[in-house]
Structures are given as C-alpha cells and as structure tokens.
Amino acid sequence: MISSLQKVRASYEPKLPPALRKGALTKINQGNDTTAIADVDKIKKLFSATFGSPELSFEVGTGETLDKAINIGVILSGGQAPGGHNVIAGLFDGIKSLHKDSKLIGFLGGPSGLINNEYVELTAEIIDEYRNTGGFDIIGSGRTKLETVEDFNSSKDNCLKLDISALVVIGGDDSNTNACLLAEYYKSNDIPIQVIGCPKTIDGDLKNEQIETSFGFDTACRVYSELIGNIQRDAKSAKKYWHFIKLMGRSASHIALECGLQTHANITIVSEEVETKKQTLDEIVAYIANIVAKRAETAGDFGVVLIPEGLVEFIPEVKALISELNDLLAKEEEAFKILSSKDEKIVFINHHLGKDTSYTFSSLPQLIQMQLLNDRDPHGNVQVSLIETEKLLAEMVASKLSELKSKGKYTGKFSAQTHFFGYEGRCAAPSNFDADYCYSLGYNASALIASGKTGYMSSVRNMTQHSDKWIAGGIPITMMMNVERRHGEDKPVIQKALVKLDDAPFLELVKNREKWAIETDFVYPGPIQYFGPSEVCDLVTKTIELEQA
C-alpha cells in the first residue's frame, strides 16, 4: 500500500548540479594528483594501480550520448540511511542519459548478492515506485565484506557474465574501503570493471573537504531533533522529568552535536571532548548532577541530556575496562560460559581483572556490568549499541544528587526517563536536502563511469548554496585512506571523521551551552517539511551551515 504522501512525493523532481543537467556525458576537469590522508607510503604500496589519481570536477557537456549501451551493477552496503533509493534513481537516470538501452543491475542483500550472483534488473517501473522514499528495500542491504581474492574473483565472474562494466557501491567508510580494494584488484589485473563509491552513513563520520557530508545525516538528525523537541515540550509542560536520550553514533558524536544545535538541549555530551580532556565517568556524572541542581533552583526539576551512542568507549577508564574484558572473555570463553548466575559471572570477572579495571567494573550498576559481558560482535568487541549508557548515567546522577542532598547542596526532586533513538531515523522519507543530494550523487556516479574512472567516490559540493552553484566531481578513495591496526594486522581503511573541537559546530555549542544548561531555551524543530517555502523545506544541517559559513 502506498501512502498519500508517497504518491505525491514520487512526483518531486530533485535538483541537480549544473554540470549534469544535459546528461552524464560531461566535460572533465582534472586537478592535481592526490596523496593519502596519512600513512602515504603504505597506502601507495597497497594501492599502486589507483593511488595518486587526480581530483575531478565536471562541466556541462553537449548532451551527446554513448555509441553503445552499458550495464551497471549497484550494491547497497551496511546500515540503512535515508536517500539510498534516490542514489539508485539518480544512477538509473544518469546511465539512461548516456544511452537509452543501458541497464542497471541491483545485487540483492548487499555485497553477498554480488558474490552469490543474486540480482534483479532495475527497470523504470521499479525505480519509479521508490523515488524519494526512505529505506533500502528496493534491493536490500548487507554487511558482507569484499576483502578476499576469492570474493574479488567471484564478483568478477558474475559481473562478466552479466556484461557489467562498472559497479557502484553505496555505503559507509568500511564499504567504500572495500570498494577501493575491489577497484585496485580489478585495475591491477586488467579486469575491465570500474568501481565507484557513494558516501552513506547517518553517523556523519564519512566526510572531508570534498565530501561535505554523508547522505542520510540530514534526515536522521531532523527526525531525532523532532523527537527531542517533542520531549522537551513535554518536559517543559510536566516539569517533573529529566530525559536522558542516547543517539546513534558509535565512533563520532556528529548526530548528538547536530541535534544539540537544533534543539538547544540542556546538556549535550560530545565523546571527542571527553576523550581529549580525559574526563572520568565520575566527572561526567558530577557535571550533569551540578546542572540538575542549578536548574532546580531556577527553572525546575526537568531537562534533557543528549548522549552519543559510543560514549563509554571514549571514557578512559571504561575504555580500558572494555579492552581488558574483550581480551579476558576471548581467553576465558569456555570457563565463563559454564557460569549460570549473574553473581558468579561478576565474581569471576572481578577475580581476573586488574586492580584499576576491577574497581571501575565494581562501580557500575549491575545492569551495565551484565551488558558489558554480553556476547561479543564477530570481531570480538563489545556491542556498544547494547550498552544502555543513558540508564547508566541516569542512575549514577541520581546517586550523586543523593550525596548533594545529604550535604544540603540540592533541594530538588530528581526523576529520570531514558530513551534511545536509533532505528527511528534510519529509513525516514528523505528531506529535500537528502533527496536532492542523493539523486545528484547517483547521477554523478554515472558521469564518473562515463569518464572511465575507477576507485573514485562521487562528490557533490557547495551544498549550502543554490543548486545552480553545486559542484559535481569525484575524489579518489585512496585520498581518504590511512592504515589502522585491526585484529593484529595493519589494514587500509577510510579515516573516520570525528568531531573537531576547534571547528565551528562544536565552538557554537561551547558558546551557548552554559546558557542552554541553566535557561529553558528549547527549540522545537517539528517534523520534516516537504512542501512549502524554501526557508522551511530546503534547510541544511547546522553542522554544514557552520562549517561552510
């Protein structure tokens, strides 16, 4: 069943950069040769065939077409993000502009569909059903990694069977790292298949000067900010609850920061600041408790705290505890598995931990202790998203306030509600920004294919300006790479973009957070607006607005 909104939304025509408005066969401007963001010699050695390619920008072409139709494969990889369907729609329209008989092959279920040759031809009828919609359900997604020679050869064989000359990988940093490895393998072995990436992740940690933002970040933050605004309105109405809200973002705090800027929440914790300042768990708890106590004297016993999903891994003593627990549970897996009761497990762990980590472990509520002992992910690491950091902080703040009350330093009444906003934002109908940006990324990917390039990421820049000033082009994926130690081996990976404490978005938070903490200066963003004046429908995030100012 298609909703009324979806029916009307299907007719929305996304904006395109000027260079792409006459089709995907464009004029190409090549910049200087590029290097890697770090570990240059290692990256150059690992990617000898694709390293050093120039940055590209496009200018409008003549509207000509290719002499021959092309077949292109597309993969959705990793977690869902609003706008993925529009990337595919833009890619479809782009290759059709190159030749009307070009075909788009969608591999089902993510990279595993490429390996197992499970696919569907994406026709105009299918594409039209999914334009401007959220989700990845058009072909599904998956988290299979393309890393081994066997995977590369399977993908090669399946592409050649289907006469596919280029693959487009729509994914985050890990997925695009795999795309870069695949491009290198194909090119170094003279396999005639191009590989192009598109930057996806709601976490916002895949960006640089050429990739201004990853798609889905705008929509997800607007969905979360609407919910936070609703909670703030409720808190201000009832005046009896403190709401502790955990938000997506394991490796970076971009979502928490953006939502804090959009809603003026009383407290926004930024993991990168915690790590830089080496703040302890007790210091974070004391910081929150002191604000609660101050607000009790003026505004009342209510407020909102925003918490990044990955916070616990940025707190030095908890990070050390998690690291030791990962090693311990791997080493003592069999002995630990036979223990049945919570008490037995806690005693066992404390007995095997070092003095400092045992103290940290013992200071945590039992609920959190058991969550830290849950089954590890496939890499042997704690599943941070399953740790209820919001409950941990709410419980510890309550204890700290009891201490303050016993000393006559707190006279209020503390009651907490906890929330985790994650899946609520991943598949929302894309905002106009994400609908436009994603369609442009897909169309631009077809221009990169037409230019004969491989190992590039689709790039659309200058997004705070009118669409007449958007810049289309491509950035070599190797330019974003560094080497990290993973599972005892050096691995090339795209470097995650963390919140920079000297950049405008964080400095804007710092400038206002004392005021927002004590005063009730809430902003209620409301739902995403798809129809109406540009000033409410064509917004950009506070993050990109401040970064590009």
Host domain of residue 236 = 217-309+388-426+503-548
Q: Is residue 183 left, alpha or beta, with left meaning phi > 0 and alpha meaning psi from -120 to 50?
A: alpha
Q: Mind listing the pLDDT tens digit for each residue in 427-457? A: 999 999 999 999 999 999 999 999 999 999 9
Do residues 76 and 176 share a domain?
yes
Half-sphere exposure of 221 (CA within 13 A, CB side): 31
Which residue do the tokens 């569909």 mark? 113
Is 283 within the bounds of a domain?
A: yes
- Rounded to whole angstroms, the Cα distance separating 96 from 514 reads 54
Residue 4 falls within a domain, yes or no? no
410 and 513 assigned to the same domain: yes
pLDDT of residue 383: 78
* Judgement on whether residues 151 and 225 belong to the same structural domain of the protein: no
Place of tokens 């202790």: 369
The beta strands (E) that lie in 422-470 are given as 456-461
- The token pair that represents 441 in the structure block: 């990324």
Any domain includes 90: yes
Q: Supply 408's token pair.
A: 């006559």
In this structure, the answer to whether residues 292 and 394 fall within a common structural domain is: yes
Question: Residue ranges of the chain with pLDDT lower than 70?
Answer: 378-380, 487-488
Quick check: helix, strand or coil at residue 482? strand
Torsion of CA 391, 397, 400, 401, to 10 degrees: -130
Same domain as 470, residue 418: no
CATH number for the domain that contains residue 543: 3.40.50.460
Q: Find the helix or strand (DSSP H, E) in which 213 lies.
A: none
CA distance 444 to 450: 10
Give me the number of domains the chain comprises: 3
345 plus 408 within the same structural domain = no
CB 373 within 8 A of CB 347: no
If asked whether residues 508 and 542 sit together in one domain, one would say: yes
**Two tokens at 385?**
């998203």
- How far is Cα 478 from Cα 456, in angstroms, rounded to an integer? 8
SS (H, E, C) 59-106: ECCCCCCCCCCCEEEEEEECCCCCCHHHHHHHHHHHHHHHCCCCEEEE
Give the per-residue pLDDT at 457. Answer: 98
Q: Which residues contact 301 (CB under 8 A, 6 or more apart)?
A: 239, 240, 241, 242, 292, 295, 412, 413, 414, 415
Q: How far apart are CA 142 and CA 137, in angstroms?
A: 11
Phi, psi of 50 (to 5 degrees): -115, -10
Residue that finishes a domain, picked among 358, 384, 410:
384
Rounded to whole angstroms, the Cα distance separating 471 from 455 reads 19
**292 and 205 assigned to the same domain:** no
Matching residue, tokens 């192009």: 196
Same domain, 108 and 191: yes
CA distance 539 to 494: 28
Residue 259, classified by CB atoms within 10 Å of its CB into exposed (0-12), middle (13-18) or buried (19+), is: buried
Are 133 and 80 members of one domain?
A: yes
Q: Are 182 and 148 in contact (CB under 8 A)?
A: no
| Angstrom distances, CA of residue 293 to CA of 117, 228, 335, 403 | 60, 22, 45, 12
Residue 132: partners with Cβ closer than 8 Å, 6 or more residues away: 9, 10, 12, 14, 85, 86, 429, 430, 435
- Is residue 364 located within the same domain as residue 468? no
Instruction: Give the tokens for residue 92.
Output: 């479809």
Is residue 408 included in any domain, yes or no?
Answer: yes
Within this chain, do residues 71 and 93 fall inside the same structural domain, yes or no? yes
Active-site annotation holds for 521: no
Distances (CA, A) of 488 to 37, 309, 318, 379: 22, 26, 22, 12
| 57 within domain boundaries | no
Domain-located, residue 202:
yes
Catalytic residue among 93, 174, 203, 218: 203
pLDDT of residue 488: 67
Residue 327 sits in a domain whose CATH number is: 1.10.10.480
Residues 6+ apart with CB under 8 A from 504: 546, 547, 549
Strand partners, 121: 105
Q: What is the CATH number of the domain that holds 152?
A: 3.40.50.450
Tokens 């025509």 sit on residue = 13
336 is a domain residue: yes
Residue 444 inside a domain? The answer is yes
